[in-house]
Amino acid sequence: TYIVLSLVMIVFSFTYYPKYKQSGGEATISWDVSGYYWYLPSLFIYKDLKNLNFSDSIRAKYGCSPDNQQITFLPDGKKVLKYSSGMALQYAPFFLIAHVLAKPLGYKADGLSTPYQLSIHLGALFMMMFGLWFLRKVLLEYFKDSTVVWVLICLVIGTNYLDYVAIDLGMSHSWLFAWYCFLLYQSNLFYKKPSYISALLIGIILGVLALTRPTEIIACILPLLWGVNVLSVESIVARFKFIKANVGLYITSAFAMIAIGSIQLIYWKYVTGHFLVYSYGDQEFTWKHPHFLNYIFSYRCGWLIYCPLMAMPYLGFLFLFKKKDIVWSIAFFSFCYLWIVCAWDIWWYGGRAMIQGYAALMFPFAALIE
């Protein structure tokens, strides 16, 4: 099932609406994706990470956005890239391959020609296969193979995940979904066989997630609470004893996470002179009054209106409670995740923001199916 679904998505991505062949705002590297990506040509091609003087000409040439969406102009006149650098870090290997091959293949090595578009497309497909592989592996630790089959099928053909792994695949969501799947797998492995490798990988994953979208720092809930039954004093005490006995592993993980997260702080300091910069202008969160009804049920966005299958995992929590060692980490994370998504004041940007959270929600979904 994994192989068939992967092949279906690969074929679908190259036949239905291959965005790497499109131009302007329909290209793979356009709109938000161009904002995530802008670090790479700025740093490696135009050597202009601070002033971004190349932006107007390259944007006019390719039409990747109608305005300077990639850049925020600060009150003091300085320019800063709007989006944090996590996606640029993930794109980097594929960007560099394209940059090496562009001229030999007869294309301009300017960062937005066809080889760069195609390379990001291929990178997204790699991340799709990477994510689904580890989702399958970790689900098989808790559920029957036949259950996992149906989880994968429903995820791929029944949710908006399909769009973001086969059409709008440059967007951050399917890439983050893959990292969450790997995080769940490594968290499960860490508490079965504690090792510095697993600890380091967990820290790296958390760093990449937070560097991509700072609110993804709540992913820390998953490895910290994995295997803990919060209703059992004995289970909580056992976790504190485990942490005490393996404090070096936790320090290793924290160090890796901070090291990767500091990339953004270094960039901000270099460009603006400040370690912390809010680059989203007047776009903010309303933490006390999240837009739950509008985000989930309105016609304008309506995550569950347009993706009704994802109501099923919430029903599945009733059955996941039988697995007391994992239900609380999944439940706390999922609640916090939905709260953050709904708190964003531009709530009409769509159900896509929930996609990376699907990795955790596949556990209660599997419980319901089983």
Q: What percent of the chain has pLDDT over 90?
A: 98
What token pair was written down for 8? 């279906």
Tally of CA atoms within 13 A in the half-sphere of 357 that contains its CB: 28
pLDDT of residue 288: 96
pLDDT of residue 161: 98
**At CA 291, angle to CA 288 and CA 293, rounded to 5?**
130
In whole angstroms, what is the distance from residue 368 CA to residue 359 CA?
Answer: 15
CB 41 within 8 A of CB 195: no
pLDDT of residue 32: 96
Instruction: Give residue-wise pLDDT tens across range 70-88.
Output: 999 999 999 999 999 999 9
What token pair was written down for 235? 């289970």
DSSP string, 136-148: HHHHTTTS-HHHH
Residue 321: partners with Cβ closer than 8 Å, 6 or more residues away: 327
In whole angstroms, what is the distance from residue 36 CA to residue 211 CA?
Answer: 11
Instruction: Give residue-wise pLDDT tens across range 36-79.
Output: 999 999 999 999 999 999 999 999 999 999 989 999 999 999 99
Q: Are strands 71-73 and 79-81 parallel, antiparallel or unpaired?
A: antiparallel
Nearest alpha carbon to residue 225 among 326, 103, 363, 364: 326
CB 69 within 8 A of CB 34: yes
Indicate the pLDDT class of residue 289, thresholds 50, 70 and 90: very high
CB 295 within 8 A of CB 301: yes
In whole angstroms, what is the distance from residue 64 CA to residue 33 CA?
Answer: 9
pTM of this prediction? 0.98
